[in-house]
Structure 1
Amino acid sequence: MNLFEHLLNPASWSGPEGIPARLVEHLLYSGASLALAILIALPLGILIGHTRRGNVLVAGLANATRALPTLGLLVLVVLLLGTGAIPVILALTVLAIPPILNATVVGFRTADPDAVLAAAAMGMTGGQQVAKVELPLASPLIISGIRSAALQVIATATVAAMAASGGLGRYVLDGQKRADGYPEMITGALLVMVLALLADLLLGGLALMAQRRTTGRRKVRTDLFDEANTGPDSEGASA
């Protein structure tokens, strides 16, 4: 048996159940879940990280997610909302929120305190401190959290095919039903692996760019700190 027979068959690359169609479905589930998780977790993480309040909530969510069985969550959501894309996206979103939330909070908590103090000394408002100082400094860790969430969502979306009847997981599920279904299962597994690797490389590159930008801001941070400590009062004292 040629294990790559299904992947190399031209007929597998066309039609509503072809590889391109299943790949688009998988990307839609994963992308929508990740985007929704970012919209929820990022503002909440910024609020908690900036105010230093709510750390217990973050720790509780992180621990609960580690103990939460993915299949059990999916089954619960399907029982409550039925099958289809929406329940799957909601279940994947729940799994994606904690890594992003935790990374955002940690990124803000570990931001250079000298830069934060300098921004406050210059009279920046809380919003300005977040936008101009804390968020740029925390961006490498935030992207790392999104990276972790993306890999988890892409992998879990394979299992979610049981409820949504779509995505690359269909190849694994359909292949299990047939005695000669190993090539189909190999196709699904390989494509999910390739998709996860590409997402990891892309987000890893973004994290590296953010890290370089953060390093480049060190001079700006030093200038802010110097300016905050050499204002009019300092000049008058020197005179």
Structure 2
Amino acid sequence: MMLAFFENWFSYIMTNSSYLLEQFGTHAYLALTSVAFCIIIGLPLGIAIYLHRRWEGPVMTVINTVQTVPSMAMLTVLLIFFGLGTTTVVILVVLYSLLPIVKNTFAGLNSVNAVYLDSAKGMGMTQTQILLMVQIPLALPILLVGVKNALVLAVGTTTIGSFVGAGGLGDIILRGINTVGGTSIILTGALLCALIAFGFEALINEVEKQLQHSFSGIKKEKI
């Protein structure tokens, strides 16, 4: 029985390889685009609530509240305003993946040892210089953990794109659900989602390694 399952699975992959590659690329593109927007929005937002602590409560309350709304309900609301297509999916994924980037940006900046800040001030550095040249480089590991979490959330949430005609691996999973004996189809979509997540994580790990090497001078000199 297991042998027959794997034979059918292999046959499905070989027969639909071009379709699977197309949906794989679409899914990866949508997830990566969404996280890019998350970084563009979330990094400045995290810096803003760090510099202006009175904003932390309201901003985090709004972002956390979004997480409590069921994704299908949010998708329906966005569908009314933005219609079918990739725009709706990207906005949805941004809303659900923003939290780890904002939270980790704030936590990372907040974790920088005050000794470094005092040393930088003693050297005559401005607040902006301290932020860009000291705090962000030292907070980088925590910031990148937020990006990793956002990528994992994005890959999972992007599967909903199949309901609004955006494509992606959600199409494969949905097709498997609607097919009698479609377990192998569902498994294929799920494994490809996991492959994207692992690939993104490996990419971020490599970026982190390179950036930490670039900024190692700051840590060695201790400002």
TM-score, length-normalised on structure 2?
0.88
Q: Which amino acid aligns with 2:158?
A: A
Asked whether 1:2 is paired with 2:5, we answer yes
State the structure with more CA Rg: 1
CA distance 1:209–1:50, change in 2 (3 Å): farther
In the alignment, what sits opposite 2:146? 145
Consecutive unaligned residues in structure 1, runs of 5 or more: 225-239
User: Which of 15, 30, 33 is 1:11 aligned to?
Assistant: 15
Residues 74-119 of structure 1 show CA distances to partners (whole Å, capped at 9, x for unaligned) of 1221122211111111110111111101100111111111111111
Q: Which amino acid aligns with 1:12?
A: N
Matches of 2:177 and 2:22 in 1, distance apart? 20
Matches of 1:133 and 1:46 in 2, distance apart? 13
Matches of 2:152 and 2:218 in 1, distance apart? 29
Asked whether 1:20 is paired with 2:21, we answer yes
Length, aligned pairs only:
219
Give me the identity figure in percent: 26
In the alignment, what sits opposite 1:220? 221
Residues 35-74 of structure 1 show CA distances to partners (whole Å, capped at 9, x for unaligned) of 1111111112123224444221343145324422222211
In the alignment, what sits opposite 2:204? 203
Deviation at 1:213, TM superposition (A): 6.5
Q: Which amino acid aligns with 1:72?
A: A
TM-score, length-normalised on structure 1?
0.82
Matches of 2:94 and 2:10 in 1, distance apart? 30
Matches of 2:47 and 2:166 in 1, distance apart? 36
Matches of 1:162 and 1:4 in 2, distance apart? 30
Matches of 2:71 and 2:117 in 1, distance apart? 39
Tell me if the contact between 2:138 and 2:219 (Cα under 8 Å) persists in the aligned partners. Answer: no
In the alignment, what sits opposite 1:160? 161
Consecutive unaligned residues in structure 2, runs of 5 or more: none
Tell me if the contact between 1:7 and 1:184 (Cα under 8 Å) persists in the aligned partners. Answer: no
Tell me if the contact between 1:34 and 1:96 (Cα under 8 Å) persists in the aligned partners. Answer: yes
DSSP 3-state at the match of 1:160: helix
In the alignment, what sits opposite 2:83? 82
Deviation at 1:5, TM superposition (A): 2.9
Question: Where do 1:1-239 residues align within 5 Å?
Answer: 1-3=4-6, 5-8=8-11, 9-14=13-18, 18-207=19-208, 217-221=218-222, 224=223
Matches of 1:7 and 1:96 in 2, distance apart? 34
- Structure number having the greater helix percentage: 2
Tell me if the contact between 2:89 and 2:160 (Cα under 8 Å) persists in the aligned partners. Answer: no
In the alignment, what sits opposite 1:231? none
DSSP 3-state at the match of 1:37: helix
DSSP 3-state at the match of 1:180: coil
DSSP 3-state at the match of 2:25: helix
Q: Which amino acid aligns with 1:172?
A: I
CA distance 1:122–1:53, change in 2 (3 Å): farther
Q: Which amino acid aligns with 1:89?
A: V
Computed over aligned residues only, the root mean square deviation of the Cα atoms, in angstroms, reads 2.2
